[in-house]
Amino acid sequence: MQAGAAGWHDNITAMEICVVYLAWAGAEPAAVARFVTSLAAHPAGTDHTLVVAWKGYEDPAELGEARQALAGVAHEELVIDAAGLDLSSYRAAAERVSAQAICFLNTESVILGDGWLDALSGHLSSPRVGLVGATGSYESQLSNARWPVRLLRTGRYPPFPNPHVRTNAFMLRRATMLDLWWPAVSSKRAAWELESGNRSVTRQIEARGLAALVVGRDGQGYPSERWRDSRTFRVDDQPNLLVADRRTRDYATAAPRVAQRLTRLAWGAGSGTPSPVPAPAG
């Protein structure tokens, strides 16, 4: 951890932490194995319970293969209804686990840094912080929409810049989460609204007077005005990214022109070169 991390846990000295890993049936078979490999390679840095939420597994053979990837990994299991998208499943899991704080990871998550959970939970331990995540963006669903679609979306989404913590590798207090507006999410549109709409998770947290931070591999917590500077999402080669997912990999493997477009969507045109970030340890 960087200097200045001492005292993170002063406010919650014995936080009960649950990590919920959502494993979807039908995902690339190697996805669970990639997650488990990254979990073994990068110690969490703090005590926690790992809960694997199996979603949509109807084929016993497919479930058995996925479970085999977790052989030797201490964990508990939940079976989640196949209906709904990730955000609905996270809410369902939160209602069934017992913990003060929950970190949610999706099927495609790959951990990239040691002490990753300690970094996230450490910043969440501040009474001034209500939400932390590995990535955030300023993107608006209005920015790239054609006129008829843009007209339909107006009133549902803020214009750019629209700071929001992306809803993978994010963490919040369980009691707070269960008190938020969190409708059933059965479509991409509903997922976009809850992640980045006028009533996004981030905006609901901020409306309570709490901060939403992006946490980098360097252990630092970045307020929304410094998210681009954190170099965690769609900037350069994302050197400070703590937990990768499909979207961060899409950017990392994109052709230069596509990568530039993705950067503009996330951070705007002509936003300049971000401030230097210390190289992550290890």
Query: Which CATH number does the domain housing residue 176 bear?
Result: 3.90.550
Mean pLDDT of 143-169: 80
User: Could you tell me if residue 279 is inside a domain?
Assistant: no
Instruction: Check whether 3 has a pLDDT greater than 70.
Output: no
- Residue 54 three-state SS: strand
User: Could you tell me if residue 125 is inside a domain?
Assistant: yes
Using an 8 Å Cβ cutoff, are 136 and 212 in contact? yes
Instruction: Check whether 42 has a pLDDT greater than 70.
Output: yes
Rg, the chain, Cα only: 18
Mean pLDDT of 220-230: 98
Helices 246-253 & 256-267 angle (0-180, nearest 10) = 130
pLDDT-derived band at 7 (thresholds 50, 70, 90) equals very low
Number of domains in the chain: 1
The pairing of strands 101-105 and 17-24 is parallel
User: Could you tell me if residue 191 is inside a domain?
Assistant: yes
User: Could you tell me if residue 184 is inside a domain?
Assistant: yes
Of 11-15, 144-148, 278-282, the range with the highest mean pLDDT is: 144-148
Instruction: Check whether 29 has a pLDDT greater than 80.
Output: no
Range of the domain at 242: 8-267
User: Could you tell me if residue 278 is inside a domain?
Assistant: no
User: Could you tell me if residue 66 is inside a domain?
Assistant: yes
| Helix residue ranges, H only, the chain | 30-41, 60-69, 86-96, 116-124, 147-153, 174-179, 188-196, 201-207, 246-253, 256-267
pLDDT-derived band at 141 (thresholds 50, 70, 90) equals confident
CA 75, distance to chain mean position in Å, is 20
Instruction: Check whether 276 has a pLDDT greater than 90.
Output: no
Write the pLDDT tens digit of every residue in 104-120: 999 999 999 999 999 99
Contacts of 257 (CB under 8 A, 6+ apart): none
Burial 108-127 (b: 16+ CB within 10 A, else e): bbbbbbbbbbbbbbbbbbbe
H or E element in which residue 80 lies:
strand 76-80
The CA-CA-CA angle for residues 119, 185, 245, to 5°, reads: 40
Mean pLDDT of 28-42: 94
User: Could you tell me if residue 228 is inside a domain?
Assistant: yes
Model confidence, pTM: 0.89
User: Could you tell me if residue 282 is inside a domain?
Assistant: no
The CA dihedral of 150, 151, 157, 160, to the nearest 10 degrees, is 50
